[in-house]
Structure formats: C-alpha cells, structure tokens
Structure 1
Amino acid sequence: MVLKKITWKAIIPGCLKSESSSFPEPKQTCSQRLSISDLSNPGSPISFSDLSISIFNLHVFTLQELRTLTNEFSKNNYLGGGGFGAVYKGFIDDKLRPGLKAQPVAVKALDLDGSQGHREWLAEVTFLGQLKHRHLVNLIGYCCEDENRLLVYEYVERGSVEDKLFSRYSAALPWLTRLKIAAGAAKGLAFLHEEEKPVIYRDFKTSNVLLDSDYNAKLSDFGLAMDGLEGDQTQITACVMGTEGYAAPEYINTGD
C-alpha cells in the first residue's frame, strides 16, 4: 500500500452543526478536523509550517505588527493575564493587510517562564482555527516568530464573567442576564461535545467565559483542551487538568 503525505491543502471544508440559521457558521466535515496530535507528533506528515494554509482561515502576524497595534505592548493596553501570559488590547486598521477589517483585538503573549508553553499555544491554534461558533471566542490569527508565541482574538467588550461577578466596581447582573450567559456557555460546551469528533474543553470557569456587548457568552482559552474519543469509547486521563472548584469531582477523582 502506498502512503500519501497529507497536507492541509488536501483537507476541504465540510459541515459543522449550527444552532441557528440566523447565525451562519463556517462549515467543515467533523471527521476531517485536524487533531493537535497531527502537529505535536514528531512523526506526523503534517508540518508546523502548514499552519499558514488557508484552511484555518487565520492571519499570520509578524511580531512587529503586533508591537505596533498594541503600542509596543503598552501597560495602558494591558487587559489582564493568566497561566499563559499577558493579554493586551490592540487595534487593527484597514491598511494592515487586504481582507482584514479594521477592528479592536486582544493579543495574548505566551510567557516563556510561565506555567504553559508551546503545546497550549498549539492547542488554541488547532481548535479555534477550525471550530467556529457564536459561543466560542473568534481567533483571528497568531504569531510564531523565533521563541515568541502570540494569539490574536476578537476583542470581547465586557470582559469575563468573573469580572462581572466579583469586581467591586461592577453592578450586579440581573437574573435574566445571568440565565442568558449560562445558556450561552452551555451551548458552547454542547457544540464541542456533540461533534462527531468531540472536544473536551477541560478548563470551564468564570474567567474563561467572555461577554460581548450584548452579554452573549463566548468560551475562551483552549490551551488545556483535548480531542475526545468518538462513538461509545471511554478514556481515563492520567494527568488531570483544570481548576480546583470548577472541574467535575468525578473527573478529579478518577480521571474519567
């Protein structure tokens, strides 16, 4: 049997499930979605350079471009940080490159001394580069230059649910708004779990649920996400990931 090297150019879009016809989603066949193992495995025929192939519909930014749009990662543009690194607000003007509209963005820079690394960065690119849904944050592009690893997302105006619930400066959210947020986050998780090739999010918590101007919930931070098993298969995870207090107790206890 002759083995043919697979490149991302050979993978064509199919279909993803959509929760509403009023919000059309980019489509692709679930069984054709690339797994993170397709890139992280040294023996994979798919090379890291293939990330630039248009199947991901992501823009590849230079470090200098990201310095410019964040005003040299100014402290005035600082939005927050976590295990991955710092997040800065930036603005893309319509002259940066053809096909990229003017818009505010959030730029997340990997902290080389932090608790996360290239695998988490690659997970974000792999999952959010292929999965599009109204309740997932939109990944616009990335930068991979020397040791630098950065991600460029849509800017989500109202920050995280954690900010709204616990910030001393935020007004209490009405209960109908809270229900809308909870339902939106649940729809995002359902989308991930109901795929023919499911995704296990593994880091569901209030700081990772972002809110747009209309309080629509968007799941973010896919660094700990992993591919689930298909069909009726089960698996036990040797290394339990997630945040204490948010992860399911049975998962923490058994890894299942």
Structure 2
Amino acid sequence: MKCFFPFKEKRKSKKEVSQSATELRNKSNPSNPALDRATKSSSSLPSPKSIPELYKEREHNLRVFSFQELREATNGFSRSLKLGEGGFGRVYKAAIRPSDGGTGSPIWVAIKKLNPHSLQGHKQWLAEVQFLGVVNHPNLVKLLGALPALPWMTRLKIMLGAAQGLAYLHKGLEVQVIYRDFKSSNVLLDEEFRPKLSDFGLAREGPTGDRSHVSTSVVGTYGYAAPEYIKTGHLSISSDLWSFGVVLYEILTGRRVLDKNRPISEQKLLYWVRQFPADSKRFSMVIDPLLRDQYSLTAAQNVAKLADSCLNNNSKDRPTMSQVVEVLEQALRDSQGSTNSFKRSFEVSTSKLVKRKPK
C-alpha cells in the first residue's frame, strides 16, 4: 500500500502496501535487461517523488487493484507463477481481467511484491514508477496500476488492535511484559487487515515489586526506542508507549520514521510533525495526502495529541496502554459518526439536485 505503511509480511497473509502491476509484453522472456539498467541507473533521473505526488500526477491513467485481485491472479503468490526475484522483491506472472469487467481476453502482467527486508526496494520502486510514467513504447513494459492507500477507518482499527495487544502484554498476564521492539514492520496484517504483533525476540519481563524499571543493554530499532532507554538502559512499559507514539505518526502521515529520500528538513518524522501541532490550522498538512478528505479531522487531531502524549520526554507523564485504547476507541466512534454525517449530507444534496427543476 506502504503505504503506505511499512508492514511486514507473515508468510502469505501479509498485505503489501507497495505492489504494482506491469504489463508483460513478452511472456517467453519476462526479464527486460534494458529496463533493469534504466531502473538501476536512477541517478540519471530526477529524485524519486513521493507516493502521493505520483498518484496525484498519474491517477487518471492508473488502475487501482485490490490486494484480493492480485492474490487471486497469482494463486496466492504461488511459487509456480514466480518469474524471478530482485532487489525489490519477487515478480509473479498473472492474468488480469479487463478493467471494465467485460469478457475480453485477460491481460498478461507481471506483479511485483515488495520484500519487507529490502533496504533499497522501496526507493527503486519509486524510481521505476517515475520512469515508466514518462515513457511509452511497444517494447517497454507499461505500468498498469498499484494498490490503493489504506482508508482512514482501517488505519484506526490497526492502531486500536495494536494498542490492545500491547495493553495485554502490559497488564493482562501474571507478569508484566515489555515488548521493547514495537515498530510498524512488526505489525502483521491478516486477510481482514487485523493487526498481529510479531517478533518477540527482544521482549523482556518488566520490573517487579517497587522497581519502576529494569536495567538492560540497549537493543531495538533506530527511531523507535525511547530516549531514556537509549541514554540510561532503563527499560519500562513506558518505553513501549514512546514506540507506539512513533507508529501513530507513521500511520497518520503515511511516512517512515526516517526517510532519506525526502528533503533534509523532512527526513526525520518526529522533527517534521512538530511544525504542525494538532491544534493549529496547519495540522492537516501532516495527514497522508492519499487519504484526501476521507477522514475525521477531529479524530485525527485526537490521535495526534495521543501520539504527542506517548512521546513525552518524561516517561512518567506518558499514558498507559489502557488509556491509549480508550482514546482510540473514541476516535473510531468519532470517525464513524463523521462518515455517517458525510453520507447523509451527500444524500440530501444529491436529492435536492435531482428534484431541482430545469430552467
């Protein structure tokens, strides 16, 4: 989607945010060295643009594919349909039905599926999309479309489900468990986009008795670890709250915690969002452009405020995961009310338009 959120795949059930379909002109020779060279030599092209910019410029020419369509076309991303594998990930051969739903011949395509462990895959994909957007030749592959961004309600449900999982670790067991490595790539999604926390290799039993923390070596992922943990090695459940705040902003903005492909002032997500406080008129600038206006501004502001409280430098002033769950549940209710209100307003305006007599 990528989403684009950077969610990691768990076998075959993971939804990839960054997937694209390109027309396969020559089925007997799916590899195209000329295109490979053009993609790898992206330094000769302008710097890759962001996903929102690419969609904005080319959405009228691109077809939006659902994950289900791509999964069915590849028979569940079957190895028997695998054409090859590169820096981006695996490429599958598939037949896509005509976009108009007609009975015409299917279009043979190559579906590229991002490898979540690829360090250069996302950047290369952006470069390839940009390149294919300006070329048109019968001997070059043609970009057909890509997966859409996750809608607002789905994002909220992912946030809530992840919070409920962490709340269970913090309070639902006989011993307190600190996840210690909460990040977007450790949140897996099943077929219904329900979040599943994974990779518990760094999980640690929390403090007992009167102790407020445990002392341990600093491990984890850059950009997600709490500052007091990095500085002192003191680990507590509040450390998970900091990490959760980072992921909240990733989901709100559609950006990564660190993105060196962006201008210097925008590379570090937490520094960039500080310019657009939740109560300011400029706050909407941080919202993922792919959401357009299909979200509740009030709910988004409350989620941003929640993220800010999780990112409090004083760990004692951060909320508990149970409190986070309550705020997200309210944000979900607010969003549902906003959606229903929008539908009613649209139906009323449409009704008036239909009943209006011609002059």
TM-score, structure 1 normalization? 0.35
Higher relative contact order (CA 8 A, sep 6+): 2
**Higher helix proportion (structure 1 or 2):** 2
Structure index of larger Rg: 2
Q: Which has the higher strand share?
A: 1
